[in-house]
Amino acid sequence: MTTPKTEAVEKAAVVSNTRDMSFFLAGKEKPVTEENVVVSRRYVDAEGKVIPFVMKPITTERIEEIEADCYTPVYEGSKKVGEEFDRPRWIARMGIESTVYPNFRDKDLLKSFGAQDPVEVLKKMLSVGGEYAEFMKAAQRINGYMDTFEDLVSEAKN
């Protein structure tokens, strides 16, 4: 029985029937690029033009560090019984790390929002729910979490 996933795998094999390992040698990958992302229409320049955020992917190692920081211990009484992962905070922090502009760690920005934590600044800055949700989606997409296998196969063909 053929499934969409097996068909996609077969199509991917057709795209490149060579097994030349030189494609995967260090330095052969495309460099990561910055991308302008509009997450809010409320921040505009002097001419009234929307100011996009500038985002770029971060490394797998950095994503893993952020992920490790987003676990909190769970206790029953004084006994630790496990850990809980704060996925929304992980995505927000990944987005903050991926954002080149604005800099959520900027002292003046932190002070203007009365915050110590860049995640607080992000939530206060993007206080309209849809804006915050758009930022969270952009953070995931920029770092490759929204790509489907079929998307990757399609891109490989082109």
CATH code for position 115: 3.30.2220.30
- The pLDDT assigned to 83 comes to 96
- In this structure, are residues 104 and 152 in contact, taking their beta carbons and an 8 Å threshold? no
Q: What is the pLDDT of residue 11?
A: 60
pLDDT of 24 above 60: yes
For the entire predicted model, the pTM comes to: 0.77
Domain of 141 in residue numbering reads as: 34-58+89-147
Checking if the pLDDT of 8 tops 60, the result is no
What percentage of the chain carries pLDDT values higher than 70?
Answer: 82
The answer to whether position 39 is within a domain reads yes
Residue 14 lies inside a defined structural domain of this protein: no
pLDDT at residue number 4: 58
3-state secondary structure 2-40: CCHHHHHHHHHHHHCCCCCHHHHCCCCCCCCCCEEECCC
Structural domain includes residue 42:
yes
Instruction: Tell me if 140 is assigned to some domain.
Output: yes
Top pLDDT among 65 and 148 is at: 65
Write out pLDDT tens, residues 46-102: 999 999 999 999 999 999 999 999 999 999 999 999 999 999 999 999 999 999 999
Please indicate, yes or no, if residue 138 is contained in any of the structural domains. yes
For residue 109, what pLDDT band results from cuts at 50, 70 and 90? very high
> Residue 78 — φ and ψ, nearest 5°?
-105, 5
For the chain, give the longest Cα–Cα distance.
60
pLDDT bucket at 17, cuts 50 / 70 / 90? low
Domain count for the chain, please give it: 1
What does the pLDDT read at residue 108? Answer: 98
